[in-house]
């Protein structure tokens, strides 16, 4: 019932909405959200329902609004995203490790050059 009311609201406004706005709309449809703080309960219902997605800072929306590239890209590695053409070959992906590989323990570690003099601190 809550999910259906939220879905109807989002379809009516045709944009993403934050939880408090959705909660007011759900309650305006005559649905009671129980508990001392009903907002976390609403968020839990929406977060665990496949009809909705949540983008931090933008709010909840309907999964059907996602582009085909977004739907296809879920769960793909950065290289798979590049290979599929969803992102350019040179693009970095948030969370991707772009640092240089860590040398093995037995690799030579650069030291100070021989011609550098080090003064003793007094």
Of all residues in the chain, what percent carry a pLDDT higher than 90? 36
Q: Read off the pLDDT band of 11 (50, 70, 90).
A: very high
Residues 6+ apart with CB under 8 A from 86: 69, 72, 73, 76
The answer to whether 42 and 52 have CB atoms below 8 angstroms apart is: no
Q: What is the pLDDT of residues 48-92, one digit of tens each?
A: 998 999 988 889 999 888 865 565 556 666 677 677 766 666 666
């Amino acid at each position: 019932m809550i999910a259906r009311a939220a879905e109807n609201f989002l379809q009516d406004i045709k944009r993403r909405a934050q939880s408090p706005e959705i909660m007011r709309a759900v309650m305006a449809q005559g649905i009671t959200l129980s508990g001392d703080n009903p907002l976390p309960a609403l968020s839990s219902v929406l977060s665990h329902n496949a009809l909705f997605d949540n983008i931090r800072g933008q709010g909840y929306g309907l999964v059907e609004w996602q582009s085909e590239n977004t739907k296809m890209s879920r769960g793909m590695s950065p290289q798979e995203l590049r290979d599929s053409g969803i992102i350019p070959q040179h693009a970095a992906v948030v969370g991707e490790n772009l640092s240089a590989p860590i040398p093995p323990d037995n690799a030579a570690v650069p030291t100070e050059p021989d011609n550098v003099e080090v003064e003793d601190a007094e």
